[in-house]
Amino acid sequence: AVRVVTSTGGVMELHGNVTAERITNEFPGHGIFRRRRSSHPLLHNEPLLAGHLYYLLPLDHFVGCSSPTDEDDDAVASPLNATNSALTPYRMSLDSHVFSR
């Protein structure tokens, strides 16, 4: 499953073939990022890989931000460690038939 952390700290668990666009279509003004602090969202057609953690964040928050070092990313670490009990997971399965155009 692909796990996506929202800007409010929620976690979506997605199953099936997932691209950044399939998620951002449901969240206008947001992008999918590999790190919590990143200057570049994933491309719309970029696949999200099972077992990886991604971040769904507002696009305007990242205008003019510089790319962090790996140490910066470690500092914000996955919210799944310290606050796991406080998070409400979302479960969302993407059916390719629903999203066909």
Q: What does the pLDDT look like over 35-89, one tens digit per residue? A: 987 679 999 999 999 999 999 999 986 655 544 444 444 334 344 443 444 444 5
Confidence band (pLDDT; 50, 70, 90) for 25?
very high
Sign of the dihedral through C-alpha 94, 48, 33, 85: positive
CA distance 32 to 43: 8
Domains of the chain by start residue, with CATH: 2-64+75-82 (3.10.20)
**Of 56, 60, 63, 62, the residue nearest 25 (C-alpha):** 56
Instruction: Give the count of alpha carbons within 13 A of 6, CB side only.
Output: 17
- Name the pTM for this structure: 0.63
Q: Helix (H, G, I), strand (E, B), or coil: what is residue 91?
A: strand
The pLDDT of 4-15, averaged and rounded, is 93
